[in-house]
Structure 1
Amino acid sequence: MNSKMTQKSFHAKKEDIDRKWYLVDAEGKTLGRLASQIAKVLQGKNKPIYTPSIDTGDFVVVINAEKINLTGKKMEQKEYYRHTGYPGGLKTTSVKEMLEKHPERVLEHAVKGMLPKNLLAKQMLKKLKIYAGTEHPHSAQNPELLDLK
């Protein structure tokens, strides 16, 4: 094979990354489907310069997290678990309780589970901004509306 005909692999560098701000309205959207689409944008998989070992993702601002939709009987049956660290310290919280007290955490937990389990996940999750209502303090960044199918 001729050495002049080989192609080089593209590997994104910090200078190549141009981060955008996107706005997502979660009202009426299904939790899992919305979380997977947000995770793709946070990772940068929607860009042609996507590189697995580099965080090429964009910022995502989510509003109306309290109006998210769950299918089936998840509102009554789905539970979140945490442990206090003491014997017998397993605590459970239903989705219904979580949506009433901290609606942002429901979506954040779902997105976190869909991000890769590596050192970049923490960095990607910092670019996710979730708000229960319609107000958000990121209007100065001019977030453009993200078209989710």
Structure 2
Amino acid sequence: MFPYRGPGKRFPTRSLGLSGSPRIKDAIRYLEHNERKGYTVKTFTPKPSDLTHEWYVVDATDVVLGRLSVQVANLLRGKNKPTFAPHADGGNFVIVINADKISLSGNKLNKNLYSHSGYPSGLRADSYAELLEKDPERIIRAAVKGMMPKNKLAKVQLGRLRVYAGDQHPHTPNQPQVVEIAQVSQQAN
């Protein structure tokens, strides 16, 4: 918040134009007192022993795609934990079931999901309506991938996403916790 000038040096209140506010004066007095006493608050950085990977299961029945993918992306990154750090891999395993019963809002059924093979003229466009019948897992994977950061850690965290079209999954020995996604009414008042 304030520029740190080193031990024993005063904060530059006048040069920053901060000398008049009583809240600023109290904050500076507090910081200078803690500096004299030798108190410091260190930033928490999780150690590898602090990072755990829990299992969660999410039911996608009648859930809007965007709302589902936000919740799943946050669980994959581990943002629900107090030990979250953006550079550390503290994410969770997430199982999404009933992917074929997902709700697509607006005119999303008429839009396409694009992918490229890497070869010349290798652009492929599949409509969401077609994918919902053939490969509903791909719709959820693409939406969650778009909501993850674009870095190497996101690839590792996306590897912990398991998507199934039906309501059965082979991960019951891991005892996943059930996550309920709050539904918001889509009707206008």
Matched residue, 1:40: 74
Q: What's 1:141 paired with? A: 174
Unpaired segments of 5 or more residues in structure 2? 1-34, 183-189
Amino acid at match of 2:102: I
User: Cα RMSD over matched residues?
Assistant: 1.2
Q: How does 1:91-130 map to 2 (within 5 A)?
A: 91-130=124-163
Which of 1 and 2 has greater Rg? Answer: 2
Separation (CA, whole Å) in 1 of partners of 2:36 and 2:138: 55
Which SS does the other structure have where 2:58 is aligned? Answer: strand
How far is 1:12 from its partner?
Answer: 1.0
Q: C-alpha separation between the residues in 1 aligned to 2:95 and 2:37?
A: 47
Name the SS for the 2:63 alignment partner.
coil
CA distance in 2, matches of 1:119, 1:3: 42
Give the CA deviation at 1:81.
Answer: 1.3
Spell out the pairing of 1:44-123 with structure 2 (5 A cutoff): 44-76=78-110, 78-123=111-156
Runs of 4+ in 1 over 3 A off after TM superposition: 84-89
Distance 1:9 1:67, change over 3 A: same
1:23 matched residue in structure 2? 57
CA apart distance, 1:146: 1.0
How far did 1:86 drift? 4.1
Comparing 1-10 with 98-107, greater Cα deviation is found at: 1-10
Give aligned-pair identity as a percent. Answer: 49
Tell me the distance in 2 between the aligned counterparts of 1:119 and 1:52. 12
Question: Which runs of no fewer than 5 residues in structure 1 stay unpaired?
Answer: none
Structure 1 residues 89 and 134: CA distance shift in structure 2, 3 A: same
What number of residue pairs does the alignment pair up?
148
- Matched to 2:181, the amino acid is L
Equivalent position SS for 1:60: strand
* Distance change in 2, residues 1:87/1:59 (3 Å): closer
Higher relative contact order (CA 8 A, sep 6+): 1
Q: Distance in 2 between matches of 1:85 and 1:124?
A: 24
SS of the residue 2:168 aligns to: coil
